[in-house]
Structure 1
Amino acid sequence: MYRFCLLMIIVLSGLLTVPVFASQAQRRTPVVTAVEKAGPAVVNIRTEQIVERHRSPFFGFGGSLFDEFFRGFAAPRSYTTQALGSGVLIDGSGLILTNAHVINRASRIFVALQGRTKEIEAKLVGKDERLDLALVRIPRQGRKAYPFLPLGTSDDLMVGETVIAIGNPLGLGSSITTGVVSGPLRALTLSEDFMAVFIQTDALINPGNSGGPLINLDGKLIGISTAIAKQAQGIGFSIPVDIIRRVLEDLKKYGRVRRSFLGVIPGRTGDRFAAARGYGGVLVTEIVPGSPADKAGLELADVILSLDNVPVETPGELLNILSSYAPGNRLEMTYLRGTKEHRQEIELTAFPTGYALQYASQTFGFTVEERKGRLLVADLVNDGPADRVGMRHGDLVVEVAGEKVKNLDDYVRVMKEQFGRLPVQFLVVRGNQGYYIDLP
């Protein structure tokens, strides 16, 4: 009898335990497994920025005119502001991928790892504001490698596929949202002449989650979350990992993304062209001799329809897609010649420094020279764009397209960035007067 009772107790306890194990197995969904795999590589990023403000002795009375007049009489007051974001470790040595806007203008960058309260100060490795990508590095802590998330792939994403956005906005642990892919590679126009390619999902991305990873159910990195469309409620956008892979080595080696060169001056086809054919495109108005476009056989008046299967409608869209490819990358271009569509593979090259200066001279009608750490107008093309607006020999060029230029290297770099993007704004100083001029 005793043995029988003992046997019954064992059997009943087993029956009661089975549902518990079954319940745990059901709860361990693919999402749980993926987060367990990727979570330790997600970090919190805190930045400090020193801001200086001038304060007039009239405490704001008289408006900005008085403030500007007394700017030189009162010492600026400085204070520190802070911002939070997320990032993801992509190798065991401490290399972290995040958004450029998370660390922009930061004087110091601090990283908090999962499960640790002590912050580690990080150093900026490289960034690209146009792609909204940045690399920072934290030093090794002993011999043990950091947990990291290797790069996956984003070109095989399926509409409806489950994805997970992970962030660490407060340094207290993971912030996780799930959703599905609604657009594997969506070309999003952010302004009239600025377009970028993103993964579109319905996984919500809060501002503090910017820079965190977007992963698939295998726990692989497929994108970096970015909060760019605040007006788009219920929609999340992520930078595809295949774009990141194309420019990662440039960020590591040069601290920036070198601009690739196709060798065409793009123009608009006009509404009539698009209406007649049902689609737009970018008109080839000039081809640089010896450039990739020239070697591929492009001709004047050809119409570029797409790059790597991403349609292009405006010159700005064409140039922004090119900016996501480092020199040496190959891509497929679709273009129209007459009524016949052609496909051609093209290998992009680095932007030639000599051509950047030549392009600037031809487009804006003046040349520059560096003298004693300043950039001066050297020669003017008679009746050219600069001459017509009153620029003179010896004028000081201080800014181009909102970026300060102190030497010829700065000028060349900005010209490569602004290639084909017209008009371009210049800040020119003559004596103690400054002028903003749009050229051409």
Structure 2
Amino acid sequence: MIFRRIGCGLILLLLSLFWGGNAVAAERRTPVVAAVEKAGPAVVNIRTEKLVRRGGTPFFGFSDPLFEQFFRELASPRTYKTQSLGTGVIIDAQGLVLTNAHVIEKASKIFVALTTGGRELEAELVGQDHQLDLAVLRILGAGPFPALKPARSDDLLVGETVIAIGNPLGLGHSITTGVISSTRRRMSTENNEFGLFIQMDALVNPGNSGGPLININGDLIGINTAIIQQAQGIGFSIPIDTAKRVLDDLIEFGRVRPAFTGILPGEVGQAFSNSLGAGGVLVHGVEPGSPAEKAGLRIADVLLTIDDDAIGTTDEYRSLLRTYTPGDPLRLGILRGAEPLALTLKLAEIPAGYAVDYAERVFGLRLADSRQGLRVQGVSAGSKAEEIGIRPGDFVTEVAGVRLSSVDEFSRLMERLYGRQPLRFLVVRGGRGYYVEL
């Protein structure tokens, strides 16, 4: 009888320990843990190899000119292999990976390491856009792969908990948590492009770039980026809605096709801006037959919003337009005189040959290919180019900091800079170059 009681007591004790342990484990399984368990398998560590060609003497640390002259013949260029690290997230069971463009920039080889199984597989670049800092890779291996489908970022709440997953310093998956400080923070990046970002106090360090930002439900709401140097103690993420809008273009065309509105934008005056209580973009011109003309826009209209996003400057207008592709509809909020209006504009592709025609109409330059660069064939009478002193026979070798050697390169650049004015041109005459703004 005594032994039976002791046995029952031991059983009850063991059961209480078991149930108690489960209760403690259940208490520790917070929503953050559940979200990471859901999203984690789709996160990959990215390793890239780059071939860098450098010259210089193999003897470092000697500054004596005689020594350097003696070994000059040995200082032939050498090729070095360098590596960089980042993060990505699988968004398709067939192996499509979304990451930052700067993570795989100039990579000769790309490898992704999977969480499940620890496999490292080679990947290929499908498409990239440096202005948006987005890239799509394809894993070269048999699937299916664990994937995390893009959710939405238009319903985010300031103060809600978010989780960033990354690969800082190549240490493998690291988790940081925080709250959203702003759902649409306007920032300029290293290449002076403006963008809208999710701002949070979850840190995004080098190596975390390209990793997913998830909400408490484990949904993919952003792609983390460490491209903004001034970020200290805070993190930024590209809203997943931005990525979704350009994803099809990246996969199908390998790039984001520039969208054409037919609006020639300009800044509104300071006095007018103050009267609005905010900025705006002046419709300086409307291209004939363009989407803008078809939508009913007129010269002197003031563009205030695109899809409810306020537009304060031409830089903001252009950067927001970069997140759309041809065929997308835009809901425009404009001011015509004192009357607010709502219009819908359907974006189109930039017409073939438009950039060259644009240069002649807007800048007054007729350009042609030559061995020395873009040759100025003609200058329109009364144009900005004539006023500033450009002549036929001059050469244009650089526009907006980009070196150019052909009309095709100029056309592609003008597609990217469409509507931006003024632009800085490097004009060469008689072997001497000078900068002008048009």
- Whether the TM-score (by the shorter chain) exceeds 0.5 is yes
Report the alpha carbon displacement of residue 362 of structure 1 after superposing the two structures with TM: 2.2
Q: How many angstroms apart in 2 are the aligned matches of 1:425 and 1:73? A: 41
**8 A Cα contact 2:296 2:343, kept in partner:** no
Q: 1:57 to 1:136 in 2, by over 3 A?
A: closer
Letter in structure 1 aligned against 2:224: S
Which amino acid in structure 2 is aligned with residue 124 of structure 1?
A: L
Query: What is the alpha-carbon distance in structure 1 between the residues aligned to residue 389 and residue 63 of structure 2?
Result: 36
Change (3 A) 1:55 1:61: farther
Question: Distance in 2 between the 1:61 and 1:427 partners?
Answer: 38
Give how far 1:355 is off. Answer: 2.6
Q: Separation in 2 of the partners of 1:61 and 1:270?
A: 59
The answer as to whether partners of 2:131 and 2:193 remain within 8 angstroms in 1 is: no
Aligned twin of 2:305: 306
- Write out per-residue CA displacement over residues 342-394 of structure 1, whole angstroms, 9 at most, x where no aligned residue: 12222111122333222112233212223579643332224644445554545
CA deviations on 1:127-161 (whole Å, 9 max, x unpaired) are: 111111111222123xx411111111111111222
Question: Partner of 2:414 in structure 1?
Answer: 415
Q: Is the 8 A contact 1:370 1:376 kept in 2?
A: yes
Q: Point out the more displaced range, 51-60 or 206-215.
A: 51-60
Give me the whole-angstrom Cα distance separating, in 1, the residues matched to 2:80 and 2:339. 62
- Please say which of residues 278-287 and 406-415 is displaced more in the overlay: 406-415
Per-residue CA distance 1:197-249 (angstroms, 9 max, x = gap): 11111111111101100111221211100113332322211111111111011
Distance in 2, matches of 1:410 and 1:223, equals 33
Tell whether 2:347 aligns with 1:355: no
Secondary structure of the equivalent of 2:343? strand
Alpha-carbon offset, residue 106 of structure 1: 2.2
Q: Which moved more, 1:363-372 or 1:306-315?
A: 363-372
Contact 1:331 1:347 in 2 (8 A): yes
Write out aligned runs for 1:358-373 (5 A): 358-370=357-369
Q: Quick one: distance in 1 between partners of 2:427 and 2:46?
A: 38
- The CA deviation at 1:434 is 6.1
SS across alignment from 2:207:
helix
Letter in 1 for 2:101: A
1:9 and 2:7 correspond: no
Which residue type is aligned with residue 88 of structure 1?
Answer: V
Unmatched 5+ residue regions in structure 1? none
Q: Which amino acid aligns with 2:111?
A: F
- In structure 1, distance between residues paired with 2:74 and 2:384: 39
Q: Distance in 2 between matches of 1:75 and 1:270?
A: 57
- Per the alignment, residue 181 of structure 1 pairs with 180
Cα deviation for residue 172 of structure 1 reads 4.3
Aligned residue number for residue 273 of structure 1: 272
**Which residue does 2:92 correspond to in 1?**
91
How far apart, in 2, do the equivalents of 1:435 and 1:118 lie? 54
- For residues 9-46 of structure 1, what are the alpha-carbon distances to aligned partners after superposition, in whole Å with 9 as ceiling and x for unaligned? 21122122222100100111111111111111111112
Residue type at the aligned position of 2:200? T
Q: Does the 8 Å contact 2:264/2:283 carry over to 1?
A: yes
2-side partners of 1:3 and 1:395: how far apart? Answer: 107
1:439 aligns with 2:437: yes
Task: State the alpha-carbon separation in 2 of the partners of residues 117 and 17 from structure 1.
Answer: 33
Secondary structure (helix, strand or coil) at the match of 1:222 reads: strand
Q: 1:224 to 1:120 in 2, by over 3 A?
A: same
Aligned-residue offset at 1:90: 1.1
**Structure 2 partner of 1:256:** 255
Change (3 A) 1:297 1:430: same
User: Is the contact between residue 359 and residue 366 of structure 2 (CA under 8 Å) also seen in structure 1?
Assistant: yes
Counterpart of 1:298, as a letter, is: L
Distance 1:206 1:410, change over 3 A: same
Q: Check whether the contact 2:127–2:251 (CA below 8 A) recurs between aligned residues.
A: yes
SS of 1:18's equivalent in the other structure is helix
Q: Is the 8 Å Cα contact of residues 121 and 141 (structure 2) preserved in structure 1? A: no
Alpha carbons of structure 1 residues 136 and 427: separation in structure 2 relative to 1, 3 Å: farther
Distance 1:411 1:73 in 2: 40
Q: CA deviation at 1:437?
A: 2.7
Identity rate, percent:
51
Q: Contact 1:364–1:439 at 8 Å: present in 2 too?
A: no
Q: Is the 8 A contact 1:160 1:180 kept in 2?
A: yes
Rounded to whole Å, the distance in 2 between the matches of 1:438 and 1:360 is 15
| Paired residues of 1:327 and 1:350 also in contact (CA < 8 A) | yes
AA at the equivalent of 1:362: R
Structure 1 stretches of at least 4 aligned residues deviating more than 6 Å after TM superposition? 56-62, 71-74
